[in-house]
């Protein structure tokens, strides 16, 4: 099966065409800075400026650069599936309307996902389209983990609960880790750390998500590139009352100007921050310490929730590439038998052909792994499963 994967972010579009059986990637393209004059499309080694383009225009332009004749199905990443969608589903008019109705729960992401669905269905109306939801993997969260401590009538009226995100990635790397360890996923207790511009951590017990750091929105939890993660709600009340910030200004502050960017004052990219920290920049040094401390705190909590852990997994941009972050976190995990192998950690490198690297010692009771995430391949697999 040849699957076209459409992954629309709030300001980006990623298009992949993959062969499901072999995993071969036939085509890849990415549009960045959608909606701005700096918008551009990158296909292989060449770049095409596309100033002011929206998602539909970007997708149309990408489609013009490749043949879609061999495509047999289309898989779409959808960030928020609410309570209604607990698994991937074939898209029809009813499903499309339901995704639109969920926009209030993910105002930055679902409109972009919907734009991608509509553009692709317009160009490929005779192919099956499947929605794969970031939230679906977390539908197994127990009530005590997904329920916020506010009035029941407000929770039910406005759909207020923890949904969790990055589920496609967490599920993918958990499966890869189980394969590497030659274990049945249903026999393992795993902690998966998805660390990129967006960050989340999930406790995967016997193949099911039982705790996760992101909540009703992708804002809760770990420190991220530009998102604050956990914050005292009283801070928001103070900023409203004394700094005069409006709801929209608070939204922009917490989602776009906080996290690593807010802490460092220079960048949301951990590579830039690590370089400046090594040169003595105290704000960047603090940003790294706060980032690692928050992650360590969650790991400890999830060990308690599952009464132990068999492996801890690092994935996504920071998780796969920052040996320094992994070291700062793992050096505090010896109390339950997790031992980092410093040389393995420094030399760890993962890709599609070698998706897992062991970075713990041979005698470590808890395995420490770096696992390459690949949402495009994960969406391809889930699309194939739905259609079969």
List pLDDT tens digits, range 124-143: 999 999 999 999 999 999 99
- DSSP type of residue 74: E
Q: How many CB atoms are located within 10 Å of the residue 143 CB?
A: 7
Smallest CA-to-CA distance from 197 within 137, 260, 154, 151 is with 260
Q: What would the two tokens of residue 91 be?
A: 């898209």
| pLDDT band of 24, cuts 50, 70, 90 | confident
User: Is 297 a residue whose pLDDT tops 80?
Assistant: yes
Q: What is the mean pLDDT of residues 153-163?
A: 93
Phi, psi of 21 (to 5 degrees): -75, -45
| pLDDT band of 54, cuts 50, 70, 90 | confident
pLDDT at 12: 80
User: Is 89 a residue whose pLDDT tops 90?
Assistant: yes
Judged by average pLDDT, the poorest of 57-61, 140-144, 326-330 is: 57-61
The model's pTM is: 0.91
Q: Hey, what long-range contacts does 153-160 have (CB within 8 A, 24 or more apart)? A: 159/82, 159/83, 159/105, 159/216, 160/216
User: Which active-site residues does the annotation give?
Assistant: 134
Residues sharing a CB contact under 8 Å with residue 242, sequence separation 6 or more, in sequence order: none
| pLDDT band of 50, cuts 50, 70, 90 | confident
Smallest CA-to-CA distance from 131 within 184, 168, 77 is with 77
Determine the Cα–Cα distance for residues 144 and 9; give it in Å rounded to an integer: 31
pLDDT at 205: 98
Helices and strands counted in the chain (H then E): 15, 14
Judged by average pLDDT, the poorest of 119-128, 130-139, 233-242, 341-350 is: 119-128
For the chain, how many residues are written? Answer: 388
Instruction: Please give the mean pLDDT across all residues of the chain.
Output: 93
CA 117 to chain centroid: 19
Q: What would the two tokens of residue 127 be?
A: 């192919």
Determine the Cα–Cα distance for residues 128 and 150; give it in Å rounded to an integer: 41
Determine the Cα–Cα distance for residues 312 and 347; give it in Å rounded to an integer: 18
User: Is 60 a residue whose pLDDT tops 90?
Assistant: no
pLDDT at 152: 96
2-133 has which fold? Nucleotidyltransferase; domain 5 (3.30.420)
Determine the Cα–Cα distance for residues 85 and 97; give it in Å rounded to an integer: 13
pLDDT at 109: 82
- Angle at which helices 110-123 and 55-64 cross, to 10°: 40
| pLDDT band of 6, cuts 50, 70, 90 | very high
Q: What is the mean pLDDT of residues 341-363?
A: 93
Q: What percent of the chain has pLDDT over 70?
A: 100
Q: What is the pLDDT of residues 171-210, one digit of tens each?
A: 999 999 999 999 999 999 999 999 998 899 999 999 999 9
276/115: higher pLDDT? 276
184-375 has which fold? Nucleotidyltransferase; domain 5 (3.30.420)
Determine the Cα–Cα distance for residues 136 and 167; give it in Å rounded to an integer: 7
Q: What percent of the chain has pLDDT over 90?
A: 72
Which residues of the chain are in CATH 3.30.420.40 domains? 2-133, 184-375
Cα dist from 248 to 93, 252, 253, whole Å: 32, 6, 9
* Cβ(146)–Cβ(162) below 8 Å: yes
What order of strands is seen across the sheet that includes strand 311-315?
A: 208-212, 199-205, 189-195, 311-315, 367-371, 356-358
Q: What is the mean pLDDT of residues 53-66?
A: 85
User: Is 108 a residue whose pLDDT tops 80?
Assistant: no
Q: Hey, what long-range contacts does 63-70 have (CB within 8 A, 24 or more apart)? A: 63/123, 65/29, 66/17, 66/27, 66/29, 68/4, 68/123, 68/124, 70/2
pLDDT at 11: 74
């Amino acid at each position: 099966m040849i699957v076209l994967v459409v992954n629309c972010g709030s300001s980006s579009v990623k298009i992949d065409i993959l062969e499901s059986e072999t995993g071969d990637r036939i085509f890849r393209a990415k549009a960045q800075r959608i909606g701005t004059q700096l918008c551009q499309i990158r296909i292989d080694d060449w770049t095409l400026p596309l100033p002011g383009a929206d998602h539909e225009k970007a997708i149309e332009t990408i489609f013009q650069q490749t043949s879609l004749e061999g495509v047999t199905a289309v898989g779409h990443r959808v960030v928020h599936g609410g309570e209604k969608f607990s698994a991937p589903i074939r898209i029809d008019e009813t499903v499309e309307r339901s995704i639109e109705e969920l926009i209030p729960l993910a105002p930055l992401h679902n409109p972009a996902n919907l734009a991608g669905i509509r553009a692709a269905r317009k160009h490929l109306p005779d192919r099956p389209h499947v929605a794969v939801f970031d939230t679906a993997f977390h539908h197994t969260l127990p009530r005590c983990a997904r329920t916020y401590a506010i009035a029941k009538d407000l929770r039910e009226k406005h759909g207020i609960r923890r949904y969790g995100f990055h589920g496609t990635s967490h599920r993918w790397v958990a499966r890869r880790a189980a394969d590497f360890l030659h274990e049945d996923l249903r026999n393992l207790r795993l902690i998966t750390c998805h660390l990129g511009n967006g960050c989340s951590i999930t406790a995967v017990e016997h193949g099911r998500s039982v705790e996760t750091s992101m909540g009703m929105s992708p804002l809760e939890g770990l420190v991220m590139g530009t998102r604050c993660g956990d914050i005292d709600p009283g801070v928001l009340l103070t900023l409203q009352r004394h700094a005069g910030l409006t709801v929209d200004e608070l939204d922009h502050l917490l989602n776009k100007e906080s996290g690593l960017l807010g802490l460092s004052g220079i960048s949301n990219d951990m590579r830039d921050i690590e370089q400046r920290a090594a040169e003595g920049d105290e704000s960047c040094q603090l940003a790294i310490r706060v980032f690692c401390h928050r992650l360590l705190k969650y790991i400890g909590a999830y060990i308690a929730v599952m009464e132990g852990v068999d492996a801890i997994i690092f994935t996504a941009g920071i998780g796969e590439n920052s040996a320094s972050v992994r070291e700062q976190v793992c050096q505090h995990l010896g109390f339950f038998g997790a031992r980092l192998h410093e040389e393995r950690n420094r030399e760890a490198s993962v890709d599609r052909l070698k998706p897992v690297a062991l970075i713990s010692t041979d005698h470590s009771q808890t395995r420490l792994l770096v696992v390459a995430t690949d949402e495009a391949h994960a969406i391809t697999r889930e699309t194939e499963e739905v259609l079969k």
